[in-house]
Amino acid sequence: MIIVGLTGGIGSGKTTVAKLFESLGIPVFYADDEAKKLMQTSEILKSKISATFGDKAYLNNTLNRAYLADLVFTDKANLNRLNALVHPEVKRHFINWVSQQSTPYVIYENAILFETNSASQFDFIITVTANIETRIDRIINRDNVARQMVLDRINNQWKDEDKIKLSDAVIVNENTVNLNIVVKNLHKKILSLSV
Ligand code: ATP
């Protein structure tokens, strides 16, 4: 089975792209969702996070997202620490999930695929890009957040040009693009790799 990594910075539209692959019958593992779930359910992970970031990381046994977000999105070292704790747990779950799939390929969707040094684990990597102002507008519209918050996240992620160099395919997802067609073509290409 081909393991495809799908990445792109905040607001690039990688989840939108992932949903289109799903509509073509390709299973997608959403690493961010899985990470959030595990931070709430995995006792091992919870104790590691509390030990690293303090007891305030959980309030009444519930992840204190605001507290953690403040720590990790303003300080890259904290972000790296959190990723180093969460990523191995997510990876374990992904390997198990893959073993349950039977399609010619599966997709692992993750904003920080390169940042977590995971690139070597994929047979094919797709990076979704869009210009920065478009991405900022999308996130402000989607999440009703401050421009500075989006910029902080963008600055904590790799630059598109560095991701592109290490990718097998790039989807330039400006608002004018016909994503359906782009995704269908890429789907055919990946299928052709599996025969
Ligand atoms: P995040 O890293 O925050 O999860 P993402 O890369 O997964 O972001 P999406 O959630 O897929 O991004 O897209 C962000 C917003 O932009 C969504 O509201 C989505 O509907 C919109 N969007 C994505 N692609 C396009 C497009 N081609 N044209 C118009 N809007 C788009």
Residue of 6, 10, 15 to test ligand 1 pocket, by largest number of atoms within 8 Å of CB: 15
CA of 151 to the centre of ligand 1 (A): 16
According to the model, what pLDDT value does residue 194 have? 76
Residue nearest to atom 14 of ligand 1 (CA): 11
Last residue of a domain, one of 67, 100, 133: 100
Q: How far is the CA of 58 from the centre of ligand 1 (A)?
A: 30
Is the CB–ligand 1 distance for residue 173 below 6 Å?
A: yes
Give the end of a domain, one of 84, 100, 116: 100
Q: Check residue 118 and give its pLDDT.
A: 87
CA-based angle 170:123:189, to the nearest 5? 55
Q: Coil, strand, or helix at residue 2? A: strand
Whether the CB of 127 sits within 6 Å of ligand 1: no
Q: Which atom of ligand 1 is nearest to the CA of 143?
A: 18
Q: What is the pLDDT along the chain (195 residues), one digit of tens a residue?
A: 999 999 999 999 999 999 999 999 999 999 999 999 999 999 999 999 999 999 999 999 899 999 999 998 788 899 889 989 998 899 999 999 999 999 999 999 999 899 888 899 999 999 999 999 999 999 999 999 999 989 988 988 899 999 999 999 999 999 999 999 999 999 999 999 976
Quickly tell me which residue has 């390169």 as its tokens.
114
* 6 closest CA partner among 22, 26, 28: 28
Co-location of 195 and 112 in the same domain: yes
Burial of 163: CB neighbours in 10 Å, binned 0-12, 13-18, 19+: buried
CA of 138 to the centre of ligand 1 (A): 6
**How far does CA 72 lie from the centroid of its chain?**
16
Domain hosting residue 124, numbered range: 1-27+105-195
**Which two tokens mark 114?**
């390169």
Tell me, yes or no, whether 23 and 109 share the same domain. yes
- 12 and 59 part of one domain: no
Instruction: Note the pLDDT of residue 76.
Output: 83
Task: Please tell me whether residues 116 and 171 are part of one structural domain.
Answer: yes
Q: Report the nearest atom of ligand 1 relative to the CA of 109.
A: 7
Q: What are phi and psi of 168, to 5 degrees?
A: -90, -25
176 and 135 fall within a common domain: yes
Q: Say which CATH number the domain at 166 has.
A: 3.40.50.300
Among residues 106, 157, 149, which one has the least CA distance to residue 129?
157
- For 46-112, the DSSP string reads HHHHHHHH-GGGEETTEE-HHHHHHHHSS-HHHHHHHHHHHHHHHHHHHHHHHTT--SSEEEEE-TT
Ligand 1 centre to CA of 113 (Å) is 17
Which residue type sits at 46?
K
User: Are 87 and 128 in a shared domain?
Assistant: no
CB 94 within 8 A of CB 3: no
- 71 lies in the same domain as 154: no
Element (H, E) at 142: helix 132-143
- Count of domains in the chain? 2
Strand partners, 42: none
| Separation of CA 35 and ligand 1 centre (Å) | 20
Query: What CA–CA distance (Å, rounded) separates 53 from 66?
Result: 13
